[in-house]
Amino acid sequence: MEFMEGVNRKDTLEISELLAGDYTGKEVKINGAVHTIRDMGDVAFVVLRKREGLLQCVYEEGVTDFDIKTLKEASTVEVEGVVAVEDRAPNGIEVRLKTIKVLSEPTEPMPLAISKWKLNTSLEAKLAMRPISLRNVRERAKFKIQEGIVRGFRDFLFKEGFTEIRTPKIGAKGAEGGANMFRLEYFHRPAVLAQSPQFYKQMMVGVFDRVFEAAPVFRAEKHNTKRHLNEYTSLDFEMGYIDSFEDIMAMETGFLQYTMELLQKDYAKELKMLNVVLPKVDKIPTVRFDEAKKLVSEKYDRQIKNPFDLEPEEEVLISQYFKEEYDADFVFVTHYPSKKRPVYAMDDPADPTYTLSFDLLFRGMEITTGGQRIHDYNMFMEKIAARGMTTEGMEQYLSAFKHGMPPHGGLGLGLERLTMKLIGEDNVRETTLFPRDLSRLEP
Amino acid sequence: MEFMEGVNRKDTLEISELLAGDYTGKEVKINGAVHTIRDMGDVAFVVLRKREGLLQCVYEEGVTDFDIKTLKEASTVEVEGVVAVEDRAPNGIEVRLKTIKVLSEPTEPMPLAISKWKLNTSLEAKLAMRPISLRNVRERAKFKIQEGIVRGFRDFLFKEGFTEIRTPKIGAKGAEGGANMFRLEYFHRPAVLAQSPQFYKQMMVGVFDRVFEAAPVFRAEKHNTKRHLNEYTSLDFEMGYIDSFEDIMAMETGFLQYTMELLQKDYAKELKMLNVVLPKVDKIPTVRFDEAKKLVSEKYDRQIKNPFDLEPEEEVLISQYFKEEYDADFVFVTHYPSKKRPVYAMDDPADPTYTLSFDLLFRGMEITTGGQRIHDYNMFMEKIAARGMTTEGMEQYLSAFKHGMPPHGGLGLGLERLTMKLIGEDNVRETTLFPRDLSRLEP
């Protein structure tokens, strides 16, 4: 009988292993994809692409036991050679090849010059050839940083006593209602895809006090803008026993502080590759919605057109204002008008036309919506009635309130938008592996 | 201007804080949900449910500034009192109450006796009242253990150099095809929900070498069994530069070893609550598919009916066999017949009617399917042609192979099934927060 006893350790080395041990002058075995070949005649530079970066290998005729003319870019190989210090090579080392073994070969030449530092191609082309364009090391670096943001979110919230939950994406009713739901047939019953885990995370506050989820949400919005996707990743948390909605903003500030530190620590290579300067998050200004409107109207001589919502242009100006006045990259805009917030939002007792809610703007764009929720069943029923809404399909959700819920609130954060603004991109498709929009359903 | 400067630290204490510091004889402030009230006349025991467990509080007439008759179960409260050692209380401490402040109240009595140690109610009733039934501490403990499994999966794979990815759940074509796809209309185009991230994770091996995803998948299967869900969480990984499909099984064994240790370390309380004995994972036997069939046929005198697939009863017998013969809770069954595996499975060069693939059985049930994939474009095209399949809609996926892919393989693991078998449940709905099956679309 054969047994599996744990991870098979390999004799092939990764870049971090090469850099950690003193392998100079020693023979090593390495695998990777042939990123580029620069053939100089007797000598050729073969750069391997590995998960941790690029590694320069030197082919020398007579020394390397292989015919370099037969090696194709985009092949995958396993090579043996001797490590040498070489300041001009990535990471300061190179491998002087003795052998090359081809593991696989492409059948066609690359449609994109992925080995260039910057892919000189349109977003359209990059998305149409996604499995190839992502092989560019700067393209893939964006998604390492995105990974780091999600790690930061989870690790920070675990530390703060949150429980990770998994809520269904197919349901009978959407959390926000309205027209922007994808509809499907579920065994002869009408169903929708989740716009948000809102109802579920609130129900789970009654169970675990503090919960979070990082998962896809779906919105059938017919916007074809640089900031909208029809499927995106929502980082959601919801917490009970809050004293005010400011506890939610404080928790988000803590998340941002933790995550910027994590990125600096574990993703410094990718930040450098993309020339990212991390934003300051030691303190984030807060401003009331109506006050923010007034401030930018005055400073930038702009008429207030819609008193109940922020236009994208106003988000830009509010960010500009707080950058200029306070050198702030983020700003919390609080107390949104009640009529523009969902029914579950807690109205401000001081003035119920406003809510105890907020958006977080980051470099000109809304990336988070959050706030305190109604926790009292009777108050909830009154607000539902006042809006002329039905409770149909909300029975289970409302039962959580009937049977006691702590004061609570939470937020939802768009991962792709945060990533985009953090790395200085201007289209959310740049920070989505396989975007779904009005025209894109593949790859 | 007001600023947010990080998490608002509270003067209310959590159970772990009470246990870590020496608070005996000291006055503390605590919040929680009133789990039970046992009123003995002059004295009453008020047990609070907090995220970390239960906390006994003692009400005494004349000492506690509150009328206990007005306190309702399922209220949420903030209390002040003095900590005392009490061996008979949960965690060995109790709080002698001075004040009780009610934060929220229920409007109706509980429909379930959630404070009982075991909820004596049907699965049907538990699912119909999900937001309430999960407040039972043993019910919620199942999902802490599930959280631990996902944490183990991610943390282990990060350590092994994997990158976390997020792939779209709406697409033009399913990874496995067939009838079990949920269909929807996507802006006037036909679309399906992802049955698996298979195509995407393979494409991403060409980018990051090693990738994983923990996300929902959707299967419109019309099975109403104890082991099927129509939406579940798939733990997927895919790794390049493998020497053989055994590298995948070895990696899974490493994951199980890491995760059992993590559960023992961080989830001991929940394991104890549910009387879970963790399985041994130091070594996991492997057996060929045809050999496994023969072994159980001989030992249990059972005729082989279907030579190409395992029936659920056979999975049970194979597990029983390896438990009896090797005291093993897990067993890898390898070399499944090619005709029962998807087209991307790598056939065994030694006998192409079998594949270099495996299932992992755990206590009588398949929880994982994995194996080596075809990485050579020409080989892939030949197998597609031999099966009479079309490549329509697979262009982008196949382009990854056209442009070079390393030898690779991976697996998909059903989170709810693994949780179910680990904690000794016999219905996968017991380990799903909000299950989706033929009859359940809510809550």
Backbone angles phi, psi at A400, to 5 degrees: -60, -35
Interface of B with A in 149-168 (CB under 8 A): 150-151, 158, 160-161, 163-168
The amino acid sitting at A24 is T
Q: A400 to chain B: which residues are within 8 Å by CB?
A: 131-132
Answer yes or no: is pLDDT of A335 > 70: yes
Cα–Cα nearest to B38, from B49, B28, B29, B47: B47
Nearest CA in chain A to B3: A285
Instruction: Say if CB B262 and CB B268 are below 8 A apart.
Output: no
**Residues of chain B scoring pLDDT < 70:** 175-176
Instruction: Place A106 in a pLDDT band, splitting at 50, 70 and 90.
Output: very high
Nearest-angstrom CA–CA distance, A240 and B235: 29
Question: From the CA of B225, how many Å to the nearest CA of chain A?
Answer: 16
Alpha carbon distance B442, A168 (integer Å): 9
Quote the pLDDT of residue A198.
97
Task: Inspect the interface and report whether the beta carbons of B403 and A185 lie closer than 8 Å.
Answer: no
Tell me the CA distances in angstroms from A265 to A268, A395, B241, one per residue in order: 6, 46, 28
pLDDT number for residue B175: 67
Question: How many other CB atoms sit within 10 Å of the CB of residue B153?
Answer: 24
> How far is CA A434 from each of CA A373, A428, B55, rounded to the nearest angstrom?
33, 11, 48
Output the CA–CA distances (angstroms, integers) from residue B300 to B76, B294, B305, B314, B334, in the order listed: 56, 10, 14, 10, 21
At A173 the pLDDT is: 80
Report how far residue B254's alpha carbon sits from residue A7's, in angstroms, rounded to the nearest whole number.
Answer: 5
Whole-number Å distance between alpha carbons of B118 and B126: 12
pLDDT at A196 over 90: yes
Q: A373-393, pLDDT tens digit by residue? A: 999 999 999 999 999 999 988
Stretch (H or E) spanning A323:
helix A312-326
Tokens of A273: 């590759």
Contact of A71 with A37, CB cutoff 8 Å: yes
CB contact under 8 A, B434 and A399: no
Query: CA B203 → CA A135, A143, A325, distances in Å?
Result: 10, 14, 46
- Please state the pTM of the whole predicted model: 0.97
The answer to whether B436 contacts chain A (CB < 8 Å) is yes
d(CA A400, CA B17): 28
Question: Cα(A352)–Cα(A137) distance, rounded to whole angstroms?
Answer: 51
A195 Cβ contact list (under 8 Å, min separation 6): A174, A175, A176, A180, A181, A217, A218, A219
Report how far residue A262's alpha carbon sits from residue A422's, in angstroms, rounded to the nearest whole number: 14
Q: Which of B249, B260, B270 is closest to B431 using CA atoms?
A: B270
* Residue type at position B375: H
Judge contact between B18 and B28, C-beta under 8 A: yes
DSSP, res B133: H
Q: Chain A: give the shortest CA distance to residue B253, in Å.
A: 5
Prediction ipTM score: 0.97
Place of tokens 């007797």: A42
Report how far Cα B82 is from the mean position of its chain's Cα atoms. Answer: 39
Angle among Cα B101, B107, B110 to the nearest 5 degrees reads 100
Q: What residues of A are in contact with residue B441 (Cβ under 8 Å)?
A: 170-172, 186, 189, 191
Q: Which tokens sit at B109? A: 């009595």
pLDDT(A370) > 80: yes
> Given its phi and psi angles, is residue B34 left (phi above 0), alpha (psi -120 to 50 degrees) or beta?
beta
Contact A183 B185 (CB under 8 A): yes
Provide the angle, in degrees to the nearest 10, between the axes of the packed helices B415-423 and B137-159: 120
Two tokens at A57? 């290998």
CA A288 to chain centre: 27
H or E stretch covering B253: helix B246-266
Cα–Cα distance, B266 to B263 (Å, whole number)? 5
DSSP B280: P
Interface of B with A in 264-293 (CB under 8 A): 282-287
Show the tokens assigned to B287.
């057996």
Q: DSSP letters along A410-424, please?
A: EEEEEHHHHHHHHHT
Residues 193-232 of B with CB under 8 A from A: 193, 200, 203-204, 206-210, 215-216, 218, 220, 222, 230-231
**Residues present in chain B in total:** 443
pLDDT at residue number B173: 80
Residue of A104, A286, A438 lying closest to B405 (CB–CB): A104
Residue A175 banded pLDDT, cuts 50, 70, 90 = low
pLDDT at B83 (0 to 100) = 98
Q: Can you give the pLDDT at residue B120?
A: 86
Q: Which of B14, B107, B108 sits opposite A161 (nearest CB)?
A: B14
Cα B130 from Cα A202, distance rounded (Å): 13
A44-52: long-range pairs with CB below 8 Å, 24+: A44/A68, A46/A71, A46/A79, A46/A97, A46/A100, A47/A90, A47/A115, A48/A77, A48/A79, A49/A135, A49/A137, A50/A14, A50/A15, A50/B209, A51/A14, A51/B161, A51/B163, A51/B208, A51/B209, A51/B210, A52/A14, A52/A15, A52/A16, A52/B161
SS3 state of residue B92: helix
Query: CA A171, CA A197: separation in Å to the nearest integer?
Result: 11
Closest residue in A to B203 (Cα) is A131
**Measured between beta carbons, which residues in chain A are less than 8 angstroms from residue B220?**
187
| Amino acid identity, position B398 | L
* Distance from the A363 Cα atom to the nearest Cα atom in chain B, whole angstroms: 17
Give the distance from CA A200 to its chain's centroid.
Answer: 22
Is A93 a residue whose pLDDT tops 70?
yes
CB atoms within 10 A of CB B20: 10
Query: In the prediction, which pLDDT does A359 show?
Result: 98
**What pLDDT sits at residue B276?**
98
